[in-house]
Amino acid sequence: MGRATDGGRRSHIAPGAGDAGPPREAPELPLRNPPRMLSHLGRHLGWHTRTVNVTDQLEQRLGCLDRSEWLRVRSLPLEKVEVAVPFVLFGPTGVFILQASRGYWLDTDIDLMARAASALGRAIRDYPDPVRPCVVILDGTSQERQHFTGTGKGPCWIVSDGRLLPWLLRFRDYGFSQGDIARLHGLANPARIRETERLAIPRGAGHSPGTAPEDHYFPG
């Protein structure tokens, strides 16, 4: 059988395909909102997505910790701390709070993590050792080190993810035993929680229910 010519190989291509110039850009759609506002919102959403992604990646790296020895809690709210802590670890060598980064961090991160560690320490006041805050640099290469802000707030550790496990195991804090961890796993199981629907009841005898919030009250 003879070898097909180039023309034969191209016979299935629509006429003119490949002969046109660069593809035309799609026309820009009209905006309803100010470009400056959209730009600010877009950057904010981009950083939010970045934070979700690096937090997910750190969670994968923490999967190597033995569940019988460690309790990992994600997105824990703490009193007087404006954002939830990405991760809290309770384990045999201590209590740690972690957030992830690809390398970028600010003094505000140091301050926030230090305040979160203090808040968690107050919540578990019977625990004798400090809660240790840490920013984990994914795929980082630098040595672990402690940082303070320019105004002296801190400290917070900066640790590359490749050194995270040795860093966690270096401490000799009071920690949590396997019995403690088993008890916490059981108590923190959301299946233990029983919720009943709380209904809004019209206020006042013979009062016609309205649509405004003040037309209803919630029984205690």
Domains of the chain (ranges; CATH) run 50-189 (3.40.1350)
Q: What pLDDT is stored for residue 142 in this prediction?
A: 86
Q: Report pTM.
A: 0.77
- Beta carbons of 161 and 139 less than 8 angstroms apart: yes
Q: Which residue has the higher pLDDT, 206 or 168?
A: 168
Tens-digit pLDDT profile for residues 142-161: 889 999 999 999 999 999 99
Q: Which two tokens stand for residue 5?
A: 């010519």
pLDDT digits (tens, 9 = 90+) for 73-129: 999 999 989 999 999 999 999 999 999 999 999 999 999 999 999 999 999 999 999
Q: Which residues contact 147 (CB under 8 A, 6 or more apart)?
A: 110, 154, 155, 156, 157, 158
Helices (H), 23-67: 35-61
Q: Which of residues 109 and 19 earns the better pLDDT score? A: 109
Percent of the chain surpassing pLDDT 90: 72
Cα separation, 55 vs 100, in Å, equals: 6
